[in-house]
Amino acid sequence: MHIIASLEDRITAGEVDIYLSNFLSYDIISEKEAKLLKVATSDNVLVVPPELRDRLRANIFKNMLLNIV
């Protein structure tokens, strides 16, 4: 999927929210999938040093999307 390939190596929680909103608007993912993606990429779950958080979030987000779509 082109969207996944175009994602940067770093992504913030706010950017994840924007992507999820767009994916829901275009019926790419379900509400349940969006909630799982949001929780899995939240700052509360990513308990790593701040300088690594956005990179880890991007990796998780991309891999989950690849498995959902």
Average pLDDT value over all residues in the chain: 94
Extents of the domains making up the chain: 2-68
Residue with tokens 């701040």: 50
Residue 1 has pLDDT above 70, yes or no: no
Q: How confident is the model at residue 9 (pLDDT cuts 50, 70, 90)?
A: very high
As a whole number of angstroms, the distance between CA 44 and CA 1 comes to: 28
CATH among 1.20.1740, 3.10.20, 1.10.3470, 1.10.1200 for 2-68:
1.10.1200
Q: What is the 8-class DSSP label of residue 12?
A: -
Give dist(CA 59, CA 63) in Å, integer.
6
pLDDT tens for 27-49 read 999 999 999 999 999 999 999 99
